[in-house]
Copies of this chain bind each other. A is one copy, B any other.
Amino acid sequence: MADSELRLEQMVARLRERGHRITAQRRAILEVLARSVGHPSAEQVFRIVSTEFPKTSLATVYKTVTALKEAGEVLELEFSQDSNRYDGNQPYPHPHVLCVTCHQIVDLDLTKLGDMADEVTGQTGFRILTHRLDFYGLCPKCQE
């Protein structure tokens, strides 16, 4: 996983240049997010980090995630019922598919998305900053 190691070092560098300190468990949190397998929730990050640092608290995970959000180094997918999910591997907006049964999240690479922002600006006068495109459905396994 050389990719996620590179990504980890990018995240560390960005936090440092913003005046943040890198502690051992903070680095562990970043590691999980840099990998972002399955787009983990804060709780899931917490559980993984806990195996290595048993005294870590959920609050620390949230505080680190907040710092990363401010640095633009993690993408947060908000949900109101379920908890939020995080992607530190691709921290810019990109489309996802979510399985409504097993809650897995898969990245997408859609071609037709490019000029939509321009279409929106032309239609509304909004200056578009970001966006969110999620599809909801049944993954191959959960279709039976």
Contact = CB atoms under 8 A, between A and B. Distances in A.
Interface residues of A, number: 41
Interface stretch (A11-19, A52-60, A119-127): A119-127
A115 interface: yes
Contact of A115 (B112, B133, B143): B112
Interface in A108-144: 108-113, 115-117, 119-120, 123-140, 143
21 contacts: A78-B78, A79-B80, A80-B80, A80-B84, A97-B120, A97-B124, A106-B124, A109-B123, A110-B119, A110-B120, A111-B119, A124-B139, A125-B139, A126-B135, A126-B137, A126-B139, A128-B136, A129-B137, A129-B138, A132-B136, A133-B133
